[in-house]
Amino acid sequence: MLSRRRCFAAAANRIRPLARAFCDAPASGAPRSQDHSHTEKVAGVKAPPDVLDVAIVGGGMVGLAVACALSNMPLTKHLKIAIIDSNPALKSRGYLDKNSTPDSRVSTVTPATISFFRDIGAWEHVQQQRHAFFGKMQVWDYTGLGYTRYNARDVGKEYLGCVVENKVLCNSLLLRLKEELDDIENVIYPTRLVSLTFPLKSRQAGMKPASSEPLSVGHTTEELHRSNLVKLDLSDGRILYSKLVIGADGSKSNVRQIAGIKTTGWNYPQSAIICTVEHVVENDCAWQRFLPSGPIALLPIGNNFSNIVWTMSPEESLRHKSMSPEEFVKSVNHALDFGYGPHPRSTALDHYMEQFFSGIGNTATSTKECFEVPPKATGVVSERMAFPLSLMHSHDYVSKRLALVGDAAHTVHPLAGQGVNLGFGDAAALAKVIAEGVSVGSDVGDLTLLQRYEKDQKAANVAMTAVLDGFQKMYSVDFGPLNMVRAAAFHGAQYISPLKKSIISYAMGDKKWPLFP
C-alpha cells in the first residue's frame, strides 16, 4: 500500500522564520512603522528593499483618492501602499489659502463624487478651502433656437455639483491621508518611475515540480517571493516590489505603455483654453454656450470669480492665449452674449410646448425659468492655459498585477465636466474590489479579482464617453436641419420634465446609465 506521507512541513520550516517576519503584520491598524522595525529585528535577515502590497504610480487626484480610500477602510488599512510622484505639491501639509487667486485648473465634482469624498473623510478638508456649489445651470447654443435650464430642485437636491480647484482636491486628499497614516513620508516616493518588470508566467501554467524537492533549489526565499511580484525601478535608484501596481499617471500613462495595453481613440480638432475671470457680482450658476467651434463654459469658483473652459480650434486657441487680457475679456463676453448669434427668445411655440408637456410627471422648477444672460467678466486674473483635447479608452483596464484608473484608462471631452468624476468612480470601485478580495483572502494582484473592477467600471465609462462624444459631434456641425434637431433637443430637455430629471441624474452620477429608468 502506498501510504507515502510527504509532509512538506519540514521544508516549510526552513522558510517559516522569514515567513513570520512578513505575515506577523498586526491585523488591526497598528502603525505600519512597526512592520519595518520588525523585519529588521529578525536575526540574520537583511531588511529587504521595500516590498509593498499596492504601488500607486501617480499622485494626482485619482491616485491620491485610491490611496485615501484604501487607508480608510478597515479591511485594507493594513496594506502597505506607496505613491510614486515627484510633484512637490505632495509635500504640502496645510490648507491652501482661500484668498489667493483661483487656479485655472478646476474640476466640477458631481454629488456622487462628493459622497465618495465624504465616505473617505476628505470632503471636510475641501470645505475648509475654496469651493463653490452651484444649483443652477443653463445650456444654449449660438443659433438662438433654444435653451435648457437645469435646477437642482428639479430632482429635489440642493446643488448640481461643486467646482473645486484641482490643487484643493489633491491637497484635501493628501491631508486626509496624513491623518490616516502615521508615516506618510515613507509612503510618498518623490521620484519617477523608470521601468516596471512584471512577474513571469511560469508560476502558473507549466509548473513542473522538481522530482523530490518541493522548492527550486538554488533560489533564496527572498528571490522566490520577489519573482512573484512586480518590480519597480525608480529614478533615484531605489527598487520596489509590489503585489499590485495601480497606474494613475494620466492620459500619457507610462505604466500603461510599459504594460503594453492598447488604446482606442482620436484627437478632437479642438483645444481648450482655461483661465479664471472676475465678476462684479457673485456667479451662482453654471453656464455653457455651444458656439460653432466648440462650447464655452463659465463655472463659478467662489468669491466673484469664475472659471472659463473655452473649446475652440487649435489655431484660435493660440490666438486667444496670446492676445491681451482686455481683448480676451471682450472676446469672452462677446461669446457668452450676442456673439455668433442671437439670444434664445421665448416664442409661442415654447409656451405651447410648456403647456403640452406640463402634464407629464411633476413639472420641474426650471421648466418655467426664462433665459438669462450670464454675468459679464470684468477681468482675467489668472494665466491662460491651452491644451489639446482627445478621446481615449484603454482596451483593458487591468492585466496581471496591474490596474489603470482615471485618465490613464480613459479621457473624455470636457464639455460636461465628467472626466475626473469617472476617475473618482474608478478609484472607489477599485478600492471596493480590493477590500472584497482581502476579505476572502485573495492576493490583491490576482487577475480575476481585478477583472471584477474592470467589469464594474468599463461599461459605464464607455457609455459616458460615447454620450459625450455624441454631443461633441452633434454640436460641431453648422447645418440647418441639424441645428433644428439640436433646438428640438434643447426644447425637449427644457420642457419635458422626466427627460430633464433623467439627464440631471445621469450627469450628477446618481444614475449609472443614460436613459434607462
Contact flag: residue 467 with other proteins (CB under 8 A): no
Contact flag: residue 207 with other proteins (CB under 8 A): yes
Asked if 264 contacts 395 with a C-beta cutoff of 8 angstroms, the reply is yes
Residue with cell 444614475: 511
Contact flag: residue 218 with other proteins (CB under 8 A): no
Contact flag: residue 358 with other proteins (CB under 8 A): no
Nearer Cβ to other proteins, position 79 or 296? 79
Asked if 180 contacts 72 with a C-beta cutoff of 8 angstroms, the reply is yes
Nearer Cβ to other proteins, position 5 or 359? 5
Contact flag: residue 27 with other proteins (CB under 8 A): yes
The binder of other proteins chosen from 203, 238, 252, 351 (CB under 8 A): 203
To other proteins, the closest distance from the beta carbon of 6 in angstroms equals 4
Contact flag: residue 4 with other proteins (CB under 8 A): yes
Binding string, residues 153-192; x marks residues near other proteins by CB under 8 A: ----------------------------------------
174-196 burial string, b = 16+ CB within 10 Å, else e? bbbbbebbeebeebbbbeebeeb
- Give the span between the Cα atoms of 17 and 15, in whole angstroms: 6
- Identify which of 111, 106, 107 has the alpha carbon closest to the alpha carbon of residue 504: 111
Contact flag: residue 334 with other proteins (CB under 8 A): no
Contact flag: residue 72 with other proteins (CB under 8 A): no
To other proteins, the closest distance from the beta carbon of 230 in angstroms equals 13
Contact flag: residue 381 with other proteins (CB under 8 A): no
Contact flag: residue 462 with other proteins (CB under 8 A): no
Selected range binding other proteins among 64-72, 198-206, 499-507, 508-516, rule: CB under 8 A: 198-206
The binder of other proteins chosen from 233, 442, 460, 482 (CB under 8 A): 442
Residues 75-114 that bind other proteins (CB under 8 A): 75-79
Q: Which residues contact 96 (CB under 8 A, 6 or more apart)?
A: 129, 130, 167, 168, 171
The binder of other proteins chosen from 42, 47, 96, 215 (CB under 8 A): 215
Contact flag: residue 34 with other proteins (CB under 8 A): no
DSSP label at residue 516: -
Contact flag: residue 46 with other proteins (CB under 8 A): no
3-class DSSP state of 209? coil
Nearer Cβ to other proteins, position 9 or 348? 9
Which residue intervals of 308-395 are DSSP H helices? Answer: 314-322, 325-336, 348-357
- Give the span between the Cα atoms of 418 and 110, in whole angstroms: 8
The binder of other proteins chosen from 156, 441, 480, 517 (CB under 8 A): 441
Contact flag: residue 439 with other proteins (CB under 8 A): yes
Contact flag: residue 32 with other proteins (CB under 8 A): no
| Grid cell digits, residue 69 | 480610500
Asked if 274 contacts 308 with a C-beta cutoff of 8 angstroms, the reply is yes
Question: How many Cβ atoms are within 10 Å of 339's Cβ, its own excluded?
Answer: 15
Contact flag: residue 39 with other proteins (CB under 8 A): no
- Give the span between the Cα atoms of 154 and 82, in whole angstroms: 43
Nearer Cβ to other proteins, position 299 or 430? 430
For 313, list phi and psi in degrees, rounded to 5: -70, 155
Amino acid present at 124: E
DSSP label at residue 201: G
Residues 120-159 that bind other proteins (CB under 8 A): none
Asked if 270 contacts 313 with a C-beta cutoff of 8 angstroms, the reply is yes
Nearer Cβ to other proteins, position 203 or 473? 203
To other proteins, the closest distance from the beta carbon of 402 in angstroms equals 16
To other proteins, the closest distance from the beta carbon of 38 in angstroms equals 13
To other proteins, the closest distance from the beta carbon of 177 in angstroms equals 19
Contact flag: residue 74 with other proteins (CB under 8 A): yes
To other proteins, the closest distance from the beta carbon of 514 in angstroms equals 22
Contact flag: residue 9 with other proteins (CB under 8 A): yes
To other proteins, the closest distance from the beta carbon of 187 in angstroms equals 18
Q: Which residues contact 265 (CB under 8 A, 6 or more apart)?
A: 390, 391, 392, 393, 411
- Give the span between the Cα atoms of 31 and 10, in whole angstroms: 33
Rounded alpha-carbon distances, angstroms, from residue 280 to 99, 326, 331 = 17, 16, 18
Question: How many Cβ atoms are within 10 Å of 457's Cβ, its own excluded?
Answer: 23
Number of residues this chain uses to bind other proteins (CB under 8 A): 54
Nearer Cβ to other proteins, position 80 or 256? 80
- Give the span between the Cα atoms of 233 and 197, in whole angstroms: 8
The binder of other proteins chosen from 179, 233, 354, 443 (CB under 8 A): 443
Contact flag: residue 21 with other proteins (CB under 8 A): yes
Element (H, E) at 161: strand 161-165
Q: Beta-strand (E) ranges in 292-423? A: 294-302, 305-312, 379-380, 385-394, 398-399, 402-404, 410-411
To other proteins, the closest distance from the beta carbon of 46 in angstroms equals 15
Nearer Cβ to other proteins, position 249 or 396? 396
Contact flag: residue 50 with other proteins (CB under 8 A): no
Q: Which residues lie near other proteins (CB under 8 A)?
A: 1-9, 11-12, 15-16, 18-23, 25, 27-28, 74-79, 203-209, 214-216, 221, 224-225, 227-228, 436-443, 446-448
